[in-house]
């Protein structure tokens, strides 16, 4: 009989212990994004808009640069054959059909044939600067986003800590962890998202700069070949 009473008491104690245990809360991405209060949600929304624009600018520029880098391997050879045989119009037509920065650069030089070599060189440089401007269009915005993202995230951190300290000051000496959660969520979440936006934009910007520099080197090499062609003895 005593053994049964002990078993019953142990069962009741175990049940009471289970009932008194706090419910486990599962931390999800959605709860992180929505638990920071109105101020945190506004800052997170701004960061996601910046992230969207960063991806849009990166892929738009990437497709434009990839398209500009495509040029026929025999392009300069065809230009040389046309110019040496006196077919200037045919050389211009080859450039128009290619429709690339290199082709437009060479076409500008062909249109100046007959003028002093210095004038031709200046025309090619001006055309190159214009093509470079087209390639770098909106790329600087990625650099701006890469710097603005972490700064906006840090702004959310400051706002979150202000909210947390306000809760502590208004708690009357009794601090509840639950009351501080909103400010802490705001501080930590906005910092993480801001860093993600900055890293993505920074990596995208540097990748575009590398690909743009390759096209610039390609234009310079073809411009030198064209000027050497004009310097060849007839």
* Reported confidence tier of residue 182, pLDDT bands at 50, 70, 90: low
pLDDT tens-digit readout, 140-155: 899 999 999 999 888 8
Of the listed ranges 19-33, 121-135, 180-194, the least confidently predicted one is 19-33
Give the whole-angstrom CA distance, residue 72 versus residue 99.
11
Whether 40 has a pLDDT exceeding 90, the answer reads no
- Higher-confidence residue of 160 and 49: namely 49
Give the pLDDT confidence score for residue 38 in this predicted structure.
Answer: 64
Give the whole-angstrom CA distance, residue 98 versus residue 147.
38
- For residue 201 the two structure tokens come to 């934009």
Query: Mean pLDDT, the chain, as a whole number?
Result: 76
Q: Where are the domains of the chain?
A: 36-231
Of the listed ranges 63-67, 142-146, 179-183, the least confidently predicted one is 179-183
The answer to whether 179 touches 171, Cβ cutoff 8 Å, is: yes
pLDDT tens-digit readout, 6-39: 444 544 444 544 444 444 455 454 455 555 556 6
Give the whole-angstrom CA distance, residue 14 versus residue 5.
14
Question: In the chain, what percentage of residues exceed pLDDT 70?
Answer: 71
Closest C-alpha among 218, 223, 232, 215 to residue 110: 223
- For residue 224 the two structure tokens come to 């030198």
Mean pLDDT in residue range 168-176: 62
Helix (H, G, I), strand (E, B) or coil at 67: helix
Helix (H, G, I), strand (E, B) or coil at 137: coil
Whether 114 has a pLDDT exceeding 60, the answer reads yes
- Higher-confidence residue of 70 and 13: namely 70
């Amino acid at each position: 009989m005593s053994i049964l009473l002990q078993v019953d008491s142990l069962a009741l104690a175990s049940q009471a212990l289970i009932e008194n245990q706090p419910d486990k809360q599962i931390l999800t991405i959605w709860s992180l994004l929505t638990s920071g209060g109105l101020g945190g949600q506004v800052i997170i929304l701004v960061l996601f808009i910046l992230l969207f624009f960063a991806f849009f600018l990166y892929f738009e520029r990437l497709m434009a640069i990839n398209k500009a880098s495509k040029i026929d391997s025999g392009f300069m050879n065809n230009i040389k054959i046309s110019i040496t045989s006196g077919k200037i119009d045919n050389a211009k037509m080859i450039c128009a059909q290619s429709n690339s920065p290199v082709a437009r650069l060479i076409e500008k030089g062909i249109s100046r044939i007959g003028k002093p070599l210095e004038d031709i060189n200046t025309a090619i440089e001006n055309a190159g600067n214009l093509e470079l401007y087209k390639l770098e269009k909106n790329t600087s915005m990625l650099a701006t986003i890469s710097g603005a993202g972490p700064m906006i995230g840090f702004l959310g951190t400051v706002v979150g800590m202000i909210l947390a300290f306000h809760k502590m000051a208004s708690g009357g000496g009794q601090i509840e962890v639950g009351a501080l959660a909103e400010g802490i969520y705001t501080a930590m979440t906005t910092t993480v998202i801001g860093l993600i936006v900055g890293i993505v934009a920074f990596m995208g910007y540097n990748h575009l700069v590398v690909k743009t520099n390759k096209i610039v080197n390609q234009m310079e090499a073809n411009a030198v070949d064209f000027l050497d062609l004009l310097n060849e003895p007839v």
